[in-house]
Structure 1
Amino acid sequence: MNERMSRLIGQMAQQSVQTSIITDPKHVYYLSGFRSEPHERLLALIVDADGKSKLLVPELDRAGAEADAAVDAIESHRDTDNAYKILGAMLGKNANGEVGVEKDKLTVTQYEKITAFLPDASLTGIDQVLLAMRAVKSADEIDRIRHAVKLVEQVLRETLPLVKAGVTELELAADIDYRMRRIGAEGPSFDTTVLAGEKSALPHGTPGTRQVQAGELLLFDMGVYAEGYVSDITRTFAVGDISDELKTVYETVLRANELGIAALKAGVPMAQADLAARQHIESRGFGDRFTHRLGHGIGLDIHEYPSLHGGNHDILQPGMTVTVEPGIYIPGVGGVRIEDDVLITGHGPETLTTFPKQFTVIAG
């Protein structure tokens, strides 16, 4: 039994959970080492309180599971089978009492199909147990995140010389996605964002046919998925000369980014980092233009626990990896966001992203 399985079983015992059914592919990978995307087919890892583990996979994934999964037994199902009936048979006598499931991940349809074969079970959410486990990264996980950071920064570095007046947001985004795969990433960890001019004031804007022009801002928000883990970086540049107002916005966001990172100390409430950045932005008169939390956890997913916002008083722990991404957005004018990936250590924060953050003019 691996260490992660052992930890899960210990938490199950505290909740009197007899068995757990893990269906999120990311959690199956995290616990068993088997990585796949089953799409609409059922993938399920069964972990019993006595330490036994079984994996149910689609037949087309069986060979991969047999090669990679650290479990006691593997079963498979074909497209003509009732996969949930097979799951029920695998559970057997452990289908009574408390059964742990990921309530945040199950669809209503999946819930109904599972409970149809577990009439005597009471389903208990184990989502928070798994998220808390994932929040503190191992040395291997941190190395994978470092690798993903290195790749995305290389792509950004290669992309900047392509910026010129007349190129569209979509053209730049497409080139970024191509370069990610060309240098060894599995692809983007989220939809690549390139926003020019007034569109940079949209925190969740979508690249389109808007052309880059001189005298405005250009924002890149991008990350890669590599070796199972993600990176996430945002940099904002000036295309030629920009207004003094936008330069002030940039310097304010940069300082907020630095203050937010400095506040990420093990043993302190997560809210402190958000407040450190937010109070600086408010002091410069832009408080109502910082419209989102300071950051979020990264790891197997691009957004995972913890959430860095002013109301979160959970305690930062060594091994957590988070983003710090303050922003100021002025509708119709433009916006600035600067985002770094940061590792919490016992000696203070370590910024994993190294791409320069000082105000930079590109093209023109």
Structure 2
Amino acid sequence: MLTEQESQQRVFRLQAGLKEKGLSGALFIFPIDVYYFTGTRQNSTLWIPVEGAPMLLVRKSLSRARGESPLADIRPFPSSKEFPSLFGEGEMKIGMTFDVIPVQQLNYYTKLLPGHQIVDISPLNREVRSVKSEFEVEQLRYSGSVLCSVFHQVPQFLNAGMRELDLAAEFEYRLRKAGNEGYVRMRAFNQELYGGLAVSAGGASYGFFDGAVTGKGLSNASPHGASVEVIRENEPILLDYTGVFNGYVTDMTRIFVIGQLDPELQHAFDASLSIQEAIRQAMKPGAVCEDLFAMSVKMAEEAGLGSAFMGMPGEQAKFVGHGVGLELDEYPVLAQGFKVPLVSGQTIAVEPKFVLPGKGAIGIENTFSVSDNGGIKLTDMPDKIVFL
């Protein structure tokens, strides 16, 4: 549960950014942003002035919001006539997160606040949220430990002849029993994810999702994740799953093989481990995100696998790592064009993977925390291939 001190620290960091940009305050309506600052995901609008205490306006459930959040000022959402009076007199410059607000909602609040200027604070909000407190890192560490415990169980139920869907169902059943919340929240428009995927060689070369491996899915309406392809011997089986506990998302991938592995796939796996370790060592404050991505691309090319790195040839993902927290696609991103330095406390899922047409997908993924000593692994399980 979010403490008053933790909430205040988050608010203070945002207020410092608002002051620097000359804003009067920030108005949040996106649920996960509201949750980050307040500790409740109830249907609410949050006002954080550049100075002073936040105010949470709740549509439903007011009683639950008051029981869950440490904020002092929690009140019912007012009528349209009363709403402007909450912001005082004079013109204000108000920040909102344009990256997630529908135009209809932006128009609604623009009409509610005539005479005030509404501007985008999406980058500021994402930067604030990207740096995790010790409390948040511990939430992610717990999420990672439970996720690892389910990965350890895979040899108990993985068999040749079962479908990808059967494997996924067995994994997800155990993960759910362990308390997984299932909500894999994503900020990017048009992206959706069903918690993870189980992919064999037959289903590795499909997908719309912005990732290296997406799976074939079950229909044209759901072209992502496990399919009805049958799992065979001597082929890589890739499980890429998220754990979501107390809202915090960790992300990891492990490879399983029933029998033997093609030497070319083993070579690709070894390359993925080398890339991950090089990135882990470099994950220190000040390291520039796009430099880490460029390093990974160079290493893949030197291994003779450049065309297979991070996806099918011609359909490769343009990143090798992504921030995680309350959402799966937080800042920072280890990608070309992301010219920002890492900051201590950021948490990143690093996922160097390869897709070899006709042979399957292979690679590794772990969630790390940025520190002065490099990346600290939060999904603490051996990276090696599990042979059955």
**TM value normalised by structure 1:** 0.90
SS in 1 for 2:385: coil
The aligned residue for residue 197 of structure 1 is 201
Find the aligned partners of 1:219 and 1:86 in 2 and give their Cα distance. Answer: 55
The aligned residue for residue 245 of structure 2 is 226
Deviations 1:226-254 (A, max 9, x none): 01211100112222123222222222222
Whether 2:327 is the aligned partner of 1:321: answer no
The aligned residue for residue 129 of structure 1 is 124
SS in 1 for 2:361: strand
Change in 2 beyond 3 A, CA 1:346/1:90: farther
Whether 2:292 is the aligned partner of 1:273: answer yes
SS in 1 for 2:150: helix
Deviations 1:275-319 (A, max 9, x none): 232211101211111122111001111110000013322111111
SS in 1 for 2:83: helix
Whether 2:55 is the aligned partner of 1:51: answer no
The aligned residue for residue 258 of structure 1 is 277
Find the aligned partners of 2:263 and 2:16 in 1 and give their Cα distance. Answer: 58
SS in 2 for 1:198: helix
SS in 1 for 2:88: helix
- Is this contact kept in 1: 2:150–2:174, CA < 8 A? yes
- Is this contact kept in 1: 2:84–2:113, CA < 8 A? no
Change in 2 beyond 3 A, CA 1:333/1:120: same
Amino acid at match of 1:91: L
The aligned residue for residue 140 of structure 1 is 135
- The Cα of 1:201 is off from its aligned counterpart by 4.0
Change in 2 beyond 3 A, CA 1:318/1:258: same
- The Cα of 1:200 is off from its aligned counterpart by 2.7
SS in 1 for 2:292: helix
- The Cα of 1:341 is off from its aligned counterpart by 0.7
- The Cα of 1:262 is off from its aligned counterpart by 1.9
Find the aligned partners of 2:54 and 2:289 in 1 and give their Cα distance. Answer: 35
The aligned residue for residue 247 of structure 1 is 266
Match of 2:99 among 84, 104, 127: 104
Find the aligned partners of 1:266 and 1:8 in 2 and give their Cα distance. Answer: 21
Find the aligned partners of 1:97 and 1:91 in 2 and give their Cα distance. Answer: 12
- Is this contact kept in 2: 1:177–1:187, CA < 8 A? no
The aligned residue for residue 360 of structure 1 is 386
- The Cα of 1:218 is off from its aligned counterpart by 0.5
Change in 2 beyond 3 A, CA 1:145/1:94: farther
Q: Root-mean-square deviation (CA), in Å?
A: 2.0
Find the aligned partners of 1:179 and 1:90 in 2 and give their Cα distance. Answer: 51
Find the aligned partners of 1:129 and 1:50 in 2 and give their Cα distance. Answer: 17
Whether 2:33 is the aligned partner of 1:32: answer no
The aligned residue for residue 170 of structure 2 is 175
SS in 2 for 1:11: helix
Find the aligned partners of 1:350 and 1:13 in 2 and give their Cα distance. Answer: 33
Deviations 1:195-217 (A, max 9, x none): 01132344122211111111211
- Is this contact kept in 1: 2:202–2:230, CA < 8 A? no
The aligned residue for residue 151 of structure 1 is 146
SS in 2 for 1:348: coil
SS in 1 for 2:230: coil
List gaps (5 residues or longer) in structure 1.
78-82
User: What pairs up with 1:4-83 in 2 under 5 angstroms?
Assistant: 4-36=10-42, 38=43, 43-59=44-60, 61-77=61-77
Deviates more, 1:251-260 or 1:150-159: 251-260
Whether 2:362 is the aligned partner of 1:336: answer yes
SS in 2 for 1:129: helix
Identity %: 26
Change in 2 beyond 3 A, CA 1:92/1:319: closer
- Is this contact kept in 1: 2:203–2:227, CA < 8 A? no
Deviates more, 1:331-340 or 1:90-99: 90-99
Change in 2 beyond 3 A, CA 1:183/1:68: same
**TM value normalised by structure 2:** 0.85
Change in 2 beyond 3 A, CA 1:307/1:90: farther
